[in-house]
Amino acid sequence: MSKRIFVGSIAWATTSDGLKKLFETVGSVAKADVLTDKMTGRSRGFGFVEMDSDADADAAISKLNGAELDGRKIVVSEARPKAE
């Protein structure tokens, strides 16, 4: 099972592809999504990345937390389960 990573403080211009490319510099990415508002289609400023291995995910969290993407410093942490 792949580990899910939360990515916050994403620039409005950042796309899912751009997010995936950044995380691929650390390891193999299964999926990357920048969440968008359903009504406007505009980025909500955060997203999620799923890495193929826990080791890659841990490396991505430590290396990319505070990294710059599209002019903004991103916040990277392990995603918490969705609250019921």
Instruction: Judge if pTM exceeds 0.85.
Output: yes
Residue 42 half-sphere exposure toward CB, CA atoms < 13 A? 5
Q: Give the chain's residues under pLDDT 70.
A: 1
Answer yes or no: is 84 within a domain.
Answer: no
Domain, as residue range, for 10? 3-78
* 74 within some domain: yes
65 inside domain: yes
Q: Are 55 and 62 in contact (CB under 8 A)?
A: no
Structural domains of the chain, count: 1
Residue 52 lies in a domain: yes
Token output for 4:
């899910």
Q: Is residue 27 part of a domain?
A: yes
The torsion angles phi and psi of 21, rounded to 5 degrees, stand at: -60, -40
CATH of the domain at 23: 3.30.70.330
Per residue in 9-26, pLDDT (tens digit) is: 999 999 999 999 999 999
What is the Cα–Cα distance from 33 to 79, expressed in whole angstroms? 13
Residue 19: predicted pLDDT: 97
* Spatial separation of the C-alpha atoms in residues 54 and 41, rounded to whole Å: 31
Quick check: is 30 in a domain?
Answer: yes
